[in-house]
Amino acid sequence: MNEPQHPAATMGRIVHYKVSPGDAVPSGNTKPGRVCPAVIVQPWGDANANLMVIPDGTAPFWVTSRMRAEDAESAADGQWFWPPRV
């Protein structure tokens, strides 16, 4: 049996998020294009979710209705993706 390419987007899952220029980021070193860990707060299907983004060295911030990218290479600013399996 083949596993699905991506797990279901469910509340509490850890993902990676690529910071967007329009995000309300607290002051700090979180610049657009930087990838930060995030927690899915509210999924909207398998490809859209509200996230709590957790940057290093500054306060978390929330983003809403963000689309999933296939992977880190294809992610545009403002999209989230599943961390690679290592």
| Domain ranges across the chain | 14-74
Over residues 38-72, the pLDDT tens digits come to 999 999 988 999 999 999 888 999 999 999 999 99
Prediction pTM value:
0.89
Q: Which residues pair with 79 in a beta bridge?
A: none
- pLDDT for res 1: 46
Helix (H) and strand (E) counts for the chain?
0, 5
Taking the C-alpha atoms of residue 56 and residue 42, their distance in angstroms, rounded to an integer, is 22
- pLDDT for res 58: 86
